């Protein structure tokens, strides 16, 4: 990769002073970063780099306007560092995780001054596997392949998040009961945080453009307005009944015992509220699911979920 780097970067790589492509804003230009890195994003490696300055600038603003503590921002999938640069400007410290060894090497070179100052740590590795640092917030343009697993690695950390997802995923995450988008993802994400879609982002904001539209989600951690005895069972129960979201809850509970691990699903149906058993999963609120999961755990002989 370094052999492909342009003259723009030559002679600047002494690590002493941060690069500034746009003196008026002080920000690095995303296209110049791509040229200096000498890369084209590889969609097979979830590489779609943000090249729209306005979207890049707004991502940390979504956190700042919610008074999020940006003293240590975690960025997952830092790419060529266009967002990293904005996060360094908005916050005090950034830890940037990047799986691609060439991009991680580029980041270490491009941001040598910030690394020397102790403001940036580049972690080379898979964000699903590396140990996460203590962070106060995460602002990330996530790789879409593992975005669900990444979201559910971050949400239990109970920190504010501003994350770019595929638009459909974002809308399902933030959906309310009774809407078409409401489902397992809405309830499981809502277990940890309030989620709101703050901006749809068109394909053209990325290089190369992804196949689908994107959207930014901001999550604000909070405790749920219900209690569950066993969180793992609650999650397994949701997974089970939402595989049959168009069936009544009565049938969904009965038909999915192999997923939820319930030994006696009929006992749950008999003990549960009649109206609730006649409802469809897409209309059941998180609190109602929690009550039902608690009941199921008590009377349904739970075993090992799938």
Ligand X SMILES: C[S@@+](CC[C@H](N)C(=O)[O-])C[C@H]1O[C@@H](n2cnc3c(N)ncnc32)[C@H](O)[C@@H]1O
* Site residues for ligand X per CB under 6 A: 45-50, 76-79, 82-83, 97-100, 103, 126-128, 141, 143, 146
Nearer to ligand X, 86 or 172 (CB): 86
- Minimal distance in Å, beta carbon 189 to ligand X? 20
Annotated binding-site residue? 72: no
The DSSP-derived string for the chain is -GGG--GGGTTTTTSSS---SBTTTTBPPHHHHHHHHT----GGGT--EE--HHHHHHHHHHHHTTT---SEEEEE--TTSHHHHHHHHHSSEEEEEE--HHHHHHHHHHTHHHHHTTSEEEEES-TTTSPPPP-SEEEEE--STTHHHHHHHHGGG---EEEEEEHHHHHHHTPPTTSTT-SHHHHHHHTTEEEEEEEEE-GGGEESPPSS-EEEEEEEE---SS--S-HHHHHHHHHHHHTTTTSBHHHHHHHTHHHH-BS-HHHHHHHS-HHHHHSBGGG--HHHHHHHHHHHHHHS-B----
Nearer to ligand X, 20 or 45 (CB): 45
Annotated binding-site residue? 126: yes
- Minimal distance in Å, beta carbon 185 to ligand X? 19
- Minimal distance in Å, beta carbon 199 to ligand X? 14
Nearer to ligand X, 78 or 162 (CB): 78
User: Are 162 and 216 within 8 A, CB to CB?
Assistant: yes
| Residue facing ligand X at closest CB distance | 77
Nearer to ligand X, 164 or 269 (CB): 164
Nearer to ligand X, 33 or 235 (CB): 33
Annotated binding-site residue? 191: no
- Minimal distance in Å, beta carbon 93 to ligand X? 17
Nearer to ligand X, 99 or 167 (CB): 99
User: Are 244 and 281 within 8 A, CB to CB?
Assistant: yes
Would you tell me how many other CB atoms lie within 10 Å of the CB of residue 258?
A: 11
- Minimal distance in Å, beta carbon 208 to ligand X? 10
Annotated binding-site residue? 48: yes
Annotated binding-site residue? 14: no
- Minimal distance in Å, beta carbon 181 to ligand X? 23
Annotated binding-site residue? 52: no
Binding residues: 48, 50, 77, 98, 126, 141
Binding residues for S-adenosyl-L-methionine: 48, 50, 77, 98, 126, 141
């Amino acid at each position: 990769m370094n052999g492909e780097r342009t003259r723009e970067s030559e002679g600047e790589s002494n690590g002493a002073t941060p690069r500034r492509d746009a003196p008026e804003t002080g920000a690095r230009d995303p296209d110049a970063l791509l040229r200096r890195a000498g890369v084209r994003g590889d969609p097979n490696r979830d590489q779609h780099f943000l090249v729209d300055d306005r979207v890049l600038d707004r991502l940390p603003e979504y956190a700042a306007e919610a008074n999020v503590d940006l003293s240590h921002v975690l960025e997952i999938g830092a790419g060529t560092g266009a967002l990293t640069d904005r996060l360094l400007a908005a916050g005090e410290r950034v830890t940037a995780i990047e799986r691609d060894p060439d991009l991680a090497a580029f980041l270490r070179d491009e941001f040598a001054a910030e690394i020397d100052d102790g403001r940036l740590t580049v972690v080379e590795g898979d964000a699903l596997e590396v140990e996460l640092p203590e962070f106060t917030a995460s602002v990330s343009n996530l790789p879409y392949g593992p975005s669900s697993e990444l979201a559910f690695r971050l949400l239990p950390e109970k920190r504010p998040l501003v994350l770019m997802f595929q638009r459909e995923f974002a809308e399902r995450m933030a959906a309310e009961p009774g809407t078409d988008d409401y489902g397992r993802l809405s309830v499981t994400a809502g277990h940890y945080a309030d989620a709101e879609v703050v901006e749809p982002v068109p394909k053209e904001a990325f290089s190369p453009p992804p196949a689908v539209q994107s959207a930014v989600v901001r999550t604000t951690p909070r405790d749920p307005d219900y209690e569950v005895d066993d969180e793992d069972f609650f999650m397994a129960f949701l997974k089970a009944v939402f595989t049959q979201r168009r069936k009544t809850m009565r049938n969904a509970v009965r038909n999915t015992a192999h997923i939820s691990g319930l030994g006696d699903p009929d006992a749950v149906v008999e003990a549960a509220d009649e109206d609730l058993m006649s409802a469809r999963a897409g209309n059941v609120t998180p609190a109602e699911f929690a009550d039902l999961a608690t009941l199921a755990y008590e009377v349904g002989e739970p075993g090992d979920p799938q």
